[in-house]
Amino acid sequence: MAPAGDSPSGRHTVDGLSSDADVALLQPSTVSAQHTNSGVRRNDKTGSQSDLSPKAQAIREACKLRRVDDLKELALSKGGFLSDSLRQQAWPVLLGLAPEDEVIDLDGPSVTDRASSWRELPRHRDEDQVQLDVDRAFVYYPNLENPVELERRKADLSDLIVEVLRRHPYLCYFQGYHDICQVFLLVLEPAQCSLAVSRLSVLRIRDFMLPNLTPAIAQLRLLPDILDAADPALWRHLSQTEPFFALSGTLTMYAHDVQTLGEIARLFDALLALDPTFSVYVFAAIVLSRRDELFDTPDSEPEMLHSILSKLPQPLDLDALLARAAELVVRHRPDRLPAWRHVSAASVLKTARDTATCAAQSMSYGRACFDRQVRELEFAEKRDKLKAALWRYRRPARAVAFAVAFGVLAFWLRRSPGPQAYVTDLLSRWIGGH
């Protein structure tokens, strides 16, 4: 089932905000609180002067009252959530973690169970790859000159990832997941990390943790539609270039490509506050911001265009990019894009369309969506194999009969997945005898 680039274990090697309320939230920010932090320089976890600003007070109040819509607006305004100390309050709310004095998740392990060692759980099939990736972690940040401290950070990162995978063994690790987890490890308190990353994995980036990358590629198919709607001339110039240039950015929430912790933490503010489609709109905004540079490269050189587009521009004006992305969502809503109908109903693009609703979803709901997506992938694989068999043994005079037979067989296989190999063999023998 896995395409090129997937291992047998399932490890990868590499609906949007459409309600009137959400569209209104994506208009340019009207938050009246003053703020002084640009969001580019990382604040110390102990806080800073920005934590005393009116905007910081608004963030704390929204977290206390769990007002997700207010947090969306604050995340899009200049500087996002301002500091790590404020992110430690805001990110858990956006991800649906309950207050410390409440039960974490009725469908998940109890607090007591979590206190027991996850190390006793069965080993996850992808742990060898996790260790290889962790060994390459912390390249850009933090700047640790002490090798002992660096090794401690890597050990913490490995523990975080392995704990999540062992507690949710159906998830498939992908290269770049460690980049996402690294950000959470550096921003949140240790006690918050495992629960936050678990809910992120199952409810918000589930499409990337399936046995292959087909759902991730389905997300990328929205990008041409957005660009074509926003700037038809630019998209015609890029039309010979497949949107795979955006895979690294969208797959890792840009954590693999952004090189400073302050910038990626500020970007996470928006990505966690808005629905998963917003990540695709951010990449569209990045492409549009490079319009002149892209037109300087001939459209007859798609490889060169791909090379340009696969690297983020430096420096990043995150506040401007996020404002542009928000404008694109308002003008070109995801549910009105042609590629939207090809996105699975179980995809996070559709199950997490509203941040507040997603925050209230249980982990068992996320698991049910995961299982449905796996079944869809398995059916698609069987359908493609059947189509290939029909194509190999095609006869012009029998084209109509084959089309009818294919439809009947596809319906039967959906209801009875077992006999697919038998049907293919029987079909081959019948055609070979005629």
- The pLDDT tens digits of the residues spanning 4-47 come to 344 434 555 443 333 433 433 444 333 333 333 333 334 444 45
**Contact between 311 and 247 (Cβ < 8 Å):** no
Same structural domain, 106 and 230: yes
Domain membership of residue 13 (yes or no) is yes
Domain boundary among 361, 389, 418: 361
Sign of CA dihedral 238, 240, 243, 245: negative
**Which 8-state DSSP code applies to residue 15?**
-
Please report, for residues 139, 183, 260, 275, the alpha-carbon distance to residue 255 in angstroms, rounded to integers and kept in the order given.
12, 7, 9, 17
Please report, for residues 173, 259, 428, the alpha-carbon distance to residue 246 in angstroms, rounded to integers and kept in the order given.
19, 17, 41
Distance between CA atoms of residues 378 and 391, nearest Å: 20
Q: What's the domain count of the chain?
A: 2
Q: How confident is the model at residue 211, as a pLDDT?
A: 96
Distance between CA atoms of residues 61 and 82, nearest Å: 14
Same structural domain, 334 and 299: yes
Same structural domain, 338 and 426: no
Q: How confident is the model at residue 377, as a pLDDT?
A: 95
Domain membership of residue 373 (yes or no) is no
Q: Identify the CA nearest to 197 among candidates 141, 253, 122, 274.
A: 253
Q: How confident is the model at residue 326, as a pLDDT?
A: 97
The first and second tokens of residue 282, run together, are 């951010």
Q: How confident is the model at residue 370, as a pLDDT?
A: 98
For residue 416, how many C-alpha atoms fall within 13 Å in the half-sphere facing its CB?
A: 8
Distance between CA atoms of residues 206 and 347, nearest Å: 8
Q: How confident is the model at residue 143, as a pLDDT?
A: 83
Domain membership of residue 409 (yes or no) is yes
Domain membership of residue 326 (yes or no) is yes
Please report, for residues 182, 390, 403, 424, 428, the alpha-carbon distance to residue 397 in angstroms, rounded to integers and kept in the order given.
59, 13, 12, 20, 17
Same structural domain, 334 and 387: no
Q: Identify the CA nearest to 153 among candidates 182, 129, 178, 176.
A: 182
Displacement of CA 68 from its chain's centroid (Å): 20
Same structural domain, 2 and 36: yes
Domain membership of residue 324 (yes or no) is yes
The first and second tokens of residue 165, run together, are 């995978």
- The residue type found at 67 is R
Same structural domain, 330 and 414: no
Please list, in sequence order, all residues whose beta carbon lies within 8 angstroms of the beta carbon of residue 106, skipping any fewer than 6 positions away: 362
Distance between CA atoms of residues 407 and 403, nearest Å: 6
Q: How confident is the model at residue 271, as a pLDDT?
A: 98
Residue with tokens 């990832």: 161
279: CATH: 1.10.8.1310
Domain membership of residue 372 (yes or no) is no
Whether the ω angle into residue 315 lies within 30 degrees of 0, i.e. cis, is yes
Strand partners, 298: none
Instruction: Give pLDDT < 50 ranges for the chain.
Output: 1-9, 13-46, 101-106, 110-112, 115, 397, 423, 426, 430
Domain boundary among 332, 361, 390: 361
Strand partners, 6: 12
Same structural domain, 142 and 182: yes
**Which 8-state DSSP code applies to residue 6?**
B
Same structural domain, 322 and 426: no
**Which 8-state DSSP code applies to residue 1?**
-
Q: How confident is the model at residue 3, as a pLDDT?
A: 39
Domain span including residue 309: 1-361
pTM for this prediction: 0.79
3-state secondary structure of 75: helix
**Contact between 216 and 5 (Cβ < 8 Å):** no
Same structural domain, 274 and 411: no
Same structural domain, 9 and 47: yes
Q: How confident is the model at residue 117, as a pLDDT?
A: 87
